[in-house]
Amino acid sequence: MAPDGTYVDIDLPLDIILNIISRLPVNIIIRCKFLSKDFVNLIGDPRFETIYQSNKANDYFYCLFVNESKPIFSLDLVQFPKDVYDNNKNRNYKISRRLSCFNSNRLPQGTDFHKFSIFGYCNGLFCLLKIESGLFNLFVINPILGEFIQLPLPVRCDLTKMFYMSYGLGYCQFTNKFKVLRIFSSFSQVSFLPNICQIFTIGSDQNWRAVKDHNVPYNFEYEHKSINPQTDMVAFGSALHWIVQPVTMGDGITAKPSWGGTRYICAFDMTDERVSALPFPPEVAPHVFYGQVIILLDKLCLWRYIPNGEIIDLWVMNEYGVEGSWSKQFIFKMSSLPKDIHKRRFKPVMPVTISPGGLLVATDCHKLMFYDLKKKKLLKVIHQTDHVSYPIPFVPNFVSPKTLLSD
């Protein structure tokens, strides 16, 4: 602005303009996106995402609250400073931006857009699933941009014999491609059948294909669901991770699950498309494990619930794949939780992120709270929803799913 109050056009190189925009908070970028088509073109420039991720100038942590009870979703983007809680300040963080996944008018004609479920998320992209008349409608979306693509229909499966089915969205760093993994477990009248494992590479594959070593010799750990119901497969690095139990193969055709047997962390590598098992911490009894894999501060972690001792603890794998690198970071005593949370008894809290002085945790009564490590207790509600929802730690990006098809 000139001294006389008038605006002056400044012709800057595009790289400088992109660099300036990339340093804005995400909620500001989203607002600007709706004001100008030129701005939309700027953030759609392939260089913008690279510059945005390299800057990391925004000292914020983002969390999406997903409400599946409405058409498509209500996505509440909540923005926190990295020092989420400060005892000297009475903060009450509010929704930064209410997002819609995509405009239902742009969905394929005849698609019932109610009751979609998130079945995977990776690097700011989400995989949505809707089972309809035995068909599996799959979409990959970027909720920040409101853009999506639909994937080809997988092979139809006999849902009457389905024991378990799960999807995961992962990223191959070697090829710079996103992949969707599908595992389908079924059973006959007398036994379980081998898992059917299929994969789809976005931008390369025309149809779903069987994984070469398609028999994944594990059962999913499905008995104890978490606050976030969509965390069966967790993307970390170039692999998807989940808790499994071994399967005893009989004649090579049927499988017998080992109920109550040893659990493992299963890792499906997106590069070579092979399955491996990661060890549990030596101090954790894998045959009585109740918990799940999560990612905190770019580390693979185990969040464990011990019913008899009424304890919840967090284990961090400091060096990926090394059994001796596990360390116990946090311990929650159920007695330290508020009564409305304590009485629920079953995985009442789930860590969302680590912050100086404690943990930001989600509760199964739809609250986001801060656990103070010094005081050993949960402090005031930082964010609360008035509907059934669950939080997803979110790393925003500006990659259009449509560009993935042409890479």
Q: What is the pLDDT of residues 302-336, one digit of tens each?
A: 888 776 667 788 899 999 989 889 999 888 777 76
Q: Same domain, yes or no, for 38 and 116?
A: no
Q: Same domain, yes or no, for 137 and 214?
A: yes
Contacts made by residues 205-208, CB under 8 angstroms, sequence distance 24+: 206/152, 207/152, 208/152, 208/154, 208/155, 208/182
Q: Which residues are CB-contacts of 277 (< 8 A; sequence separation ≥ 6)?
A: 218, 244, 264, 265, 266, 267
Give the best-scoring range by mean pLDDT among 1-5, 226-230, 370-374. 370-374
Q: Same domain, yes or no, for 52 and 73?
A: no
Q: Same domain, yes or no, for 293 and 171?
A: yes
Residues forming beta bridges with residue 196, ordered by sequence position:
184
% of the chain beyond a pLDDT of 70: 59
pLDDT surpassing 70 at residue 357 = yes
Q: Which of 385, 172, 379 is nearest to 272 (CA)?
A: 172
Q: Which of 174, 166, 164, 237 is nearest to 201 (CA)?
A: 174
Cβ contact 231:243 at 8 Å: no
Q: Same domain, yes or no, for 24 and 138?
A: no
Angle (CA) 367 226 362, round 5°:
20
Q: What pLDDT score does 309 carry?
A: 61
pLDDT surpassing 50 at residue 140 = yes
Q: What pLDDT score does 201 carry?
A: 94
Give the best-scoring range by mean pLDDT among 109-113, 362-366, 386-390. 362-366
What's the domain range around 41?
A: 1-58
Strand order in the sheet with 60-67: 95-99, 74-81, 60-67, 390-394
Token digits for 9? 């056009």
Cβ contact 265:287 at 8 Å: no
Average pLDDT over residues 9-18: 80
Residue where a domain stops, chosen among 58, 73, 106: 58
Phi, psi of 323 (to 5 degrees): -60, -40
Token digits for 30? 């989203």
Cβ burial, residue 377 (10 Å; 0-12/13-18/19+): middle
| Amino acid sitting at position 311 | I
Average pLDDT over residues 87-93: 55
Give the best-scoring range by mean pLDDT among 61-70, 99-108, 135-144, 240-249. 135-144
Q: What pLDDT score does 182 carry?
A: 86
**CATH code for position 362:** 2.120.10
pLDDT surpassing 90 at residue 249 = no
Q: Same domain, yes or no, for 106 and 69?
A: yes
Residue 251 or residue 362, greater confidence: 362
Q: Same domain, yes or no, for 373 and 352?
A: yes
Helix (H) or strand (E) holding 49: helix 46-55
Confidence grade of residue 226 (pLDDT, cut at 50, 70, 90): very low
The 10s digit of each residue's pLDDT in 180-208 is 998 877 655 445 556 778 899 999 998 99
Q: Same domain, yes or no, for 121 and 162?
A: yes
How many Å apart are CA 117 and CA 289, to the nearest integer? 26
Q: Same domain, yes or no, for 23 and 91?
A: no
Q: Same domain, yes or no, for 371 and 346?
A: yes
Residue where a domain stops, chosen among 58, 81, 104: 58
Residues forming beta bridges with residue 95, ordered by sequence position:
78
Q: Same domain, yes or no, for 189 and 43?
A: no
Residue where a domain stops, chosen among 58, 83, 102: 58
Q: Same domain, yes or no, for 340 and 375?
A: yes
Q: What pLDDT score does 405 carry?
A: 81
Burial 247-285 (b: 16+ CB within 10 A, else e): beeeeeebbebeeeeebbbbbbebeebebeebebbeebe
Phi, psi of 354 (to 5 degrees): -95, 135
Q: Which of 236, 211, 208, 234 is nearest to 221 (CA)?
A: 234
Q: Which of 117, 195, 127 is nearest to 162 (CA)?
A: 195
**Can you count the helices (H) and strands (E) in the chain?**
6, 26
Count of structural domains, the chain: 2
Q: What pLDDT score does 240 carry?
A: 93
Confidence grade of residue 270 (pLDDT, cut at 50, 70, 90): very high
Residue 7 or residue 199, greater confidence: 199
Reading phi first (left if > 0) and then psi (alpha if -120 to 50, else beta), residue 399 is in: beta
Residues forming beta bridges with residue 113, ordered by sequence position:
none
